[in-house]
Amino acid sequence: MTEVETSIATAPDAGGDPAPVLRVRDLSVSFHGAERTVHAVDGVSYDLAPGEVLAVVGESGCGKSVTSMAVMGLLPPTARIGGSVTLDGQELVGAPEKRLRSLRGRRLSMIFQEPMTSLNPVLTVGRQITEVLRRHQGLSRSAAGERAVELLGIVGIPAPRKRVDEYPHQLSGGMRQRVMIAIAVACDPAVLIADEPTTALDVTVQAGILDVLRSLRDRLGTAIVLITHDLGVVADTADRVLVMYAGRPVEQASVDELFASPKHPYTRGLLGAVLRPGSRSAGGRTRLNEIPGLVPDLREQPAGCGFAPRCASADADCLTSRPPLRQVGDSHLIACYHPAGPAGADPSRPDASKGTVR
């Protein structure tokens, strides 16, 4: 076992955390087209304990959705997937589609980034919920109908008995997102992946939806992977944070540790929005900061750190050799030769022995 493997596999505190329900190890995804290959995800690992909320953050295009679709087994055939994803100890990478289908919606669910394109416009919302219940739980038509009404109530839809017979176009964006959540949680999944579930919604609707997710976690012990651009959401909802850059994990820590002591220059750049006074945008949301420069082209895998071209601390090593993910504190991992704060010299750095670390 490598150093990183050991540190990820160890529960965040020594207080006897339950075994992880979802375990992702060294996940990689590349898309092979006729003309080009895109390395969308490289080396993502995390554990998710029951009831735990992991926030995944990073700029657009850094591989958050592709990572989640890989976990769900929903990538197109052009995707090549490496590494391992286990749910309740069962390997999902390379598992037969039939097995994945029986897990999806039952043990493992996802709220997609685009609620409008994920709902079926010609079926009532009730029908879309009862279909899942009947398929996975074998409920009778009337029992499934009752449960659908109950679920709409749980996700905060007023007058659920009336709404259950409506079509998606009759509902507002926020209500459609709640229907998506009702479908996703209909069978009490062990793991729920929410891909920017509130990005398109206004602040009050957003708060309501986050309340729904938190109450699910509290009531059912649902483990949640929450992909978001919103630092307020991360601070309020997550237990741990995974920061991704250009398809790779660059920092992972508990939410308190990450906000108190962000170490990767990229994370520090993202958090600039909360560190700088007056940076709250309209509506009270605190968005991730804009960092000058462009996310690299994922068709080429850089030899060194993907962030080096945008990083004020980068030196020659950063451009030529990729910093490995390493432990810098209690379940705090970073991939950087120049971490901020008192982390000290990086022993994995090529010239660390020469004592030239800043």
Ligand X SMILES: Nc1ncnc2c1ncn2[C@@H]1O[C@H](COP(=O)(O)OP(=O)(O)O)[C@@H](O)[C@H]1O
CB 318 within 8 A of CB 264: no
Q: Which of 8, 38, 187, 231 binds ligand X (CB under 6 A)?
A: 38
* Positions in 65-104 near Mg ion (CB under 5 A): 65
Chain centroid to CA 64: 6
Q: Give the nearest residue (CB) to Mg ion.
A: 65
> Residue 298's binding partner, choosing from Mg ion, ligand X, none, with beta-carbon cut-off 5 to 8 A by kind?
ligand X
Shortest Cβ 70–ligand X spacing (Å): 9
Taking the least distance from each CB to Mg ion, the nearer of 113 and 137 is 113
Taking the least distance from each CB to Mg ion, the nearer of 199 and 321 is 199
* Three-state DSSP state, 101: helix
Classify the phi-psi angles of 355: left when phi > 0, otherwise alpha if psi is within -120 to 50, otherwise beta: left
Shortest Cβ 307–ligand X spacing (Å): 15
Shortest Cβ 299–ligand X spacing (Å): 9
CB half-sphere exposure, 289, CA atoms < 13 A: 18
Nearest to 243 by CA among 220, 260, 262: 262
Shortest Cβ 222–ligand X spacing (Å): 22
Shortest Cβ 227–ligand X spacing (Å): 7
* Residue span binding Mg ion (CB under 5 A) among the ranges 59-67, 184-192, 263-271, 322-330: 59-67
Burial string for 244-253 (b: 16+ CB within 10 Å, else e) reads: bbbbbbbbbb
CB 189 within 8 A of CB 222: yes
167 binds ligand X (CB under 6 A): no
What are the φ/ψ torsions at residue 39 (nearest 5 degrees)? -90, 90
> Residue 62's binding partner, choosing from ligand X, Mg ion, none, with beta-carbon cut-off 5 to 8 A by kind?
ligand X
CA–CA separation, 161 and 169 (whole Å)? 17
* Residue span binding ligand X (CB under 6 A) among the ranges 64-72, 91-99, 301-309, 317-325: 64-72
CA–CA separation, 253 and 233 (whole Å)? 16
Q: Which of 28, 65, 128, 252 binds ligand X (CB under 6 A)?
A: 65
* Positions in 41-60 near ligand X (CB under 6 A): 58, 60
* Positions in 273-312 near ligand X (CB under 6 A): 298
**Whole-number Cα distances in Å, 218 to 51, 52, 79, 242:** 7, 10, 35, 22
- Residue bearing tokens 């970073």: 334
> Residue 63's binding partner, choosing from ligand X, Mg ion, none, with beta-carbon cut-off 5 to 8 A by kind?
ligand X
Number of residues that bind ligand X (CB under 6 A): 14
170 binds ligand X (CB under 6 A): no
Shortest Cβ 250–ligand X spacing (Å): 13
**What is the bridge-based pairing of β-strands 248-254 and 332-334?**
antiparallel
Q: Which residues bind ligand X (CB under 6 A)?
A: 31, 38, 40, 58, 60-66, 76, 78, 298
Q: Which residues bind Mg ion (CB under 5 A)?
A: 65
